[in-house]
Amino acid sequence: MSAILSVEQVGVRFGGLVAIADLHFDVREGEIVSLIGPNGAGKTTAFNVMTGFLKPSQGEVRFRGTGLTDLQPHEITRLGLARTFQRTSVFPDDTVFDNVMIGLHRQGAQSRRAPLLDALIGRAGASERRLRARAEALLDWVGLSERAGEKAGALAYGEQRLVGVALALATEPAMLLLDEPVSGMNASETQVFVSLIRQIRERGITVLLVEHDMPMVMEVSDRILVLNYGRLIAEGPPDRIRSDPAVIEAYLGQGKAARQAAAEVQEPAHA
Amino acid sequence: MSRLLPLALLTSLVALPLALGSNPYLLNALITTGILTIAAMSLNLLLGFTGQLSLGHIAFFGIGAYVSALTSLGFDVEIGFGTRIVHEPWPAAVGFLLAILAAGACGYLIGRLSFRVRGAYFVIVTVSFAEVVRLVALNWVELTQGPLALTNIPVIALGAPGLGSWTLKTKLQNYYLVLAVGTLCYVIIARLVGSRFGRAMRGLKENESLALSVGINAARTLTVATVISAAMAGAAGSLYAHYLRIIDPDVFQFATTVTIVIMVVAGGKGTLMGPVVGGLIFGLLPVVLRPVMAPEAQWMIYGIVLIAILFVMPKGIVPGIAGLFARLRAARAVPVLEASPAVPR
Ligand SMILES: Nc1ncnc2c1ncn2[C@@H]1O[C@H](COP(=O)(O)OP(=O)(O)O)[C@@H](O)[C@H]1O
Ligand SMILES: [Mg+2]
């Protein structure tokens, strides 16, 4: 299949710090690809470049053939590339339901030519009802229907991450970037999330995942990219990554937590 | 409650003159209070719903006042290179519409200019803008008469061709005009806030990166909000000019901006009723205070009342009272009959 996302020789510098150097890879339509690497490797920075929150110092990202360099975040979203954030990110003062309604912003735009005017003369009723039905369906999908009426800021972290996923899905993306979606989730929540990722792919959405939970990454990914100090050091299917000496080295070079992660890399995926 | 309260207030305001008789002093206070309350509602659209503090909001008000006054008075000015612009007087109602357009256009410029510069920079841009406009009004004497003031501004006449017209001469008529414009502004803001556009504003205020990531255009949303806010302030300024029938550069004084900020903050920013409640309290406070103290002392009382309100209800009166009701309801811990939540709209 053809590449939906191409990262072409992208480099990012923060002052003297090289956060990403010469990053180059493709993601093909319908794949689930994981981007892993020790803390500070540049994974979030790469996401920020892909979604227009950061301009690369060099190189370019192309999404479905369109160069993203000159586009703003909201324009990139409109092309069909959505993301979640590493830090829990919701609209904290709104209910979970209203969070998703805000996330459905683009869907509202397509229904009419002058939505602002419609709202003023009270003609937006039908499209509002449609949006509310969409919001309910999305909450049902990610398993948050019970929480619909609660303030998003008051939810547990794991649930806030699900709100983030629902918001990203609300934009009807062709590709979804997930930044550490299961951190803050327990083992059973993580398993539910794995099946959610698979459902997302079944609906034709390509997934690029950043995650530290190695068993989960090994289980869900078609392909894994390994980043270390801003450079791609390995790429391949899970079994090859598990035994790749450069990957083990990268994780062993780090602290205790990272060594643990490296040990997990080598373990077979849990069921 | 969210619909009932505004309707009850509107009904009382409609009936109020019947109860007061035609006390000109009170009616005058109500009219100026109403005009400032419209300005406060317009400010709340920015401050309360987008989180941007426009400390030069009075500029839009003053521009509305001057545009409306000059449209209805006519002028004849030289603009350099031997070119003169001569304008014959037009009806005041046209002035009202042009005031809205002109203030809205200025809102567009400020909005475009400052959506990049948020927070403190937005405050500085708006304050500077107001000061520049004030200096123009003060020094372009040929157009504005400067400190000598524009006088004999015609009153607004409503009517349609062929149907005759209705001149708003009395205080009572002006009272109802202000009430009608205020109600219209309230309804417009309520609809906006409850719409997709309102959700975009809330999203940007609560978590801007997340809002951008779901496809909300920050520049467009903030600019549209500034345009609507400025246009409403301009409408209020026009009402002010045609009611007082005299304006001078003092309409741009900073104290008026402070007053409407106080109205919004004390009443509860980000709520629909907040600026109305705050506007009525702080607009009518001078009526209560004037018989008993000097203007300087009134300002002190103003400050004390504001501090007292915010001490008891940090988010303002409307959210404070709504929270109180919510707690009372929770404390009763019995099934509640009303279907609607106590959160203010
Ligand atoms: N806005 C920024 N300014 C300066 N340095 C940054 C910024 N964002 C990230 N970095 C640095 O870039 C490197 C990569 O960070 P990041 O992409 O967050 O790593 P990861 O997500 O892989 O843990 C880190 O050294 C980090 O400190
Ligand atoms: Mg990260």
Return the domain boundaries, chain A.
3-90+176-266, 91-154
Asked if the C-beta of B192 comes within 8 angstroms of chain A's C-beta atoms, the answer is: yes
| pTM of the shown model | 0.86
Mean pLDDT of A126-152: 91
Specify whether the CB–CB gap between A233 and A227 falls below 8 A.
yes
User: CA nearest B197 in A: which residue?
Assistant: A116
Comparing CB atoms, the residue among A72, A119, A170 nearest residue B214 is A170
Q: List the residue whose alpha carbon is closest to atom 3 of ligand 1.
A: A14
Higher-confidence residue of A208 and B1: namely A208
Chain A residues within 8 A of B209 when measuring between CB atoms: 53, 73, 85, 89
Higher pLDDT, B83 or B192: B192
B16 versus A207: the higher-pLDDT residue is A207
Q: Check CB contact of A124 with chain B, cutoff 8 Å.
A: yes
Q: What is the pLDDT of residue A258?
A: 55
User: Using the beta-carbon criterion (under 8 Å), do A120 and B207 form an inter-chain contact?
Assistant: no
Q: Is some CB atom of chain A closer than 8 A to the CB atom of B340? A: no
Nearest chain B residue (CA) to A98:
B199
Top mean pLDDT of A111-125, B65-79, B180-194 is at: B180-194
pLDDT-derived band at A166 (thresholds 50, 70, 90) equals very high
Decide if pLDDT at A88 tops 90: no
Query: Which tens digit of pLDDT belongs to each residue from A5-43?
Result: 999 999 999 988 999 999 999 999 999 999 999 999 999
Å from CA of A89 to ligand 2 middle: 14
Could you tell me the two tokens for B336? 């509640």
Task: State residue B336's pLDDT score.
Answer: 46
Residue type, B88: E
Q: Whose CA is closest to B57, among B126, B128, B154? A: B126
Q: Which of B276, B222, B196 is nearest to B46 (CA)?
A: B222
At residue A79, does pLDDT exceed 90?
Answer: yes
Domains of chain B in start order, with CATH, are 4-298 (1.10.3470)
Q: How confident is the model at residue B18, as a pLDDT?
A: 81
CATH number for the domain formed by residue range(s) A3-90+176-266? 3.40.50.300
| pLDDT tens digits along A46-62 | 999 999 999 999 999 99
| Residues of chain A positioned with their CB less than 8 A from the CB of B211 | 91, 102
- Please work out whether the CB of residue A45 comes within 6 Å of at least one atom of ligand 1: yes
According to the model, what pLDDT value does residue A191 have? 92
**Band of pLDDT at residue B340, cut at 50, 70 and 90:** very low
Mean pLDDT value across residues B15-43: 88
CB atoms within 5 A of ion ligand 2 belong to: A 44, 86
Best residue of B191, B192, B206, B210 to probe chain A, by most A CBs closer than 10 Å: B210
- Per-residue pLDDT at B298: 81
Residue with the larger pLDDT of the pair B164 and B70: B70
Got the DSSP string for chain A? --EEEEEEEEEEEETTEEEEEEEEEEEETT-EEEEE-STTSSHHHHHHHHTTSS--SEEEEEETTEE-TT--HHHHHHHTEEE--SS----TTSBHHHHHHHHTHHHHHHH-S-HHHHHHTT--HHHHHHHHHHHHHHHHHHT-GGGTTSBGGGS-HHHHHHHHHHHHHHT--SEEEEESTTTT--HHHHHHHHHHHHHHHHTT-EEEEE-S-HHHHHHH-SEEEEEETTEEEEEE-HHHHHT-HHHHHHHHTS-HHHHHHHHHHHSPPP-
Q: Which of A122-131, A218-227, A256-265, B158-167 has the lowest mean pLDDT?
A: A256-265
In chain A, whose CA is at the least distance from the CA of B224?
A116
